[in-house]
Amino acid sequence: MTEADYVVVGAGSAGCAVARRLAESGASVVLLEAGGADNKGWAKMLFQIPGAINVMHSTPQLKKLFDWGYKSTPQR
């Protein structure tokens, strides 16, 4: 496949559900996932603490570990 109607980034529970619904409608869908485990030692623990996402995204040293900084623009 060289073209797709939709590209869904992130195969978490929401990404998979969105990709499935789009595919059920007959659209061609690409579902992208970074892969690998979130096993960065202490960082793995942060994912299990409610509200820790706020700390991760407000602390520059932590944010660069989890935010790849990709930007997107509308294609149509």
| Confidence at 6, pLDDT banded by 50, 70, 90 | very high
Which tens digit of pLDDT belongs to each residue from 12-35? 889 999 999 999 999 999 999 876
Instruction: Count structural domains, the chain.
Output: 2
Residues 26 and 49 in one domain: no
Residues 42 and 31 in one domain: no
Residues 22 and 51 in one domain: no
> Does residue 75 lie within any of the structural domains?
no
Distance CA 73, CA 36 (A): 27
Residue 1 pLDDT > 80: no
pTM over 0.85: no
> Does residue 11 lie within any of the structural domains?
yes
Give me the domain span that covers residue 53: 38-68
Residues 1 and 19 in one domain: yes
Return left, alpha or beta for 47; rule: phi > 0 is left, psi -120 to 50 is alpha, else beta: alpha
Residues 8 and 27 in one domain: yes
